[in-house]
Chain A
């Protein structure tokens, strides 16, 4: 248990559906992140939020829309996804500015399958 929870843990959706992934951190951190991990590929950073403000968007397609209403919650809204978007979506949080290096706390992930 890392203090970062994600729901749902598994999601199957059609290409025309709209769904949302939710992340919540109970660590008092002020930065939150979305990562994507496809099969046999490194983790890819998607979005970064610092004090609720989006500070990084790594050229993510617009069919992925993040939302950070407060420092404890992060959402990833999904619409008109493609089968290649099937992956493990991980949320993480950290304290910034980091005192030393990068300690991020990851949630268990949402396994997304697009049919």
Chain B
């Protein structure tokens, strides 16, 4: 699975837009990019997933440039309850034998301040 690099921590204020960038230089052709959110003492929660260009759902947007070597999770107008660790993962659903294996890094701790 491709290795990902993302900032250890970020600070923001309520109402701001937050962009968290993840680098995945050795992403493979079949890899998808997935983001999870984790609150303290809870399991991670799926946020968004994409392959290329832009994906938007009710929670966030995911921007993926043409070379797919990085991706940016965009959280519009964050609130205090968005304080959490955000994980970027890349992987392929068809890499036989490990097609359902998630490898989590350290993630980005986003702290939203009042």
Is B103's beta carbon under 8 Å from chain A?
A: yes
B97-114 contacts to A (CB < 8 Å): 97-107
Question: Which residue from chain B places its CB closest to the CB of A95 in the assembled complex?
Answer: B100
CA distance A43 to B44 in the complex (A): 10
Q: How many residues on B have C-beta within 8 angstroms of the other chain's C-beta atoms?
A: 27
Q: Which of A90, A92, A102 contacts B89 (CB 8 A)?
A: A102
A99 B102 Cβ-Cβ under 8 A? no
- Chain B residues 41 to 76 lying within 8 A of chain A, measured CB to CB, are 41-46, 49, 51
Q: How far is the CA of A33 from the CA of B24 in the complex (A)?
A: 25
Contact (Cβ within 8 A) A106 B100? no
Cβ contacts under 8 Å, A101 to chain B: 32-34, 49, 91-93
Q: Is B104 within 8 A of A43, CB to CB?
A: yes
Let me know if A97 and B93 touch, CB within 8 A.
yes
Q: Cβ of B103 and Cβ of A48 under 8 Å apart? A: no
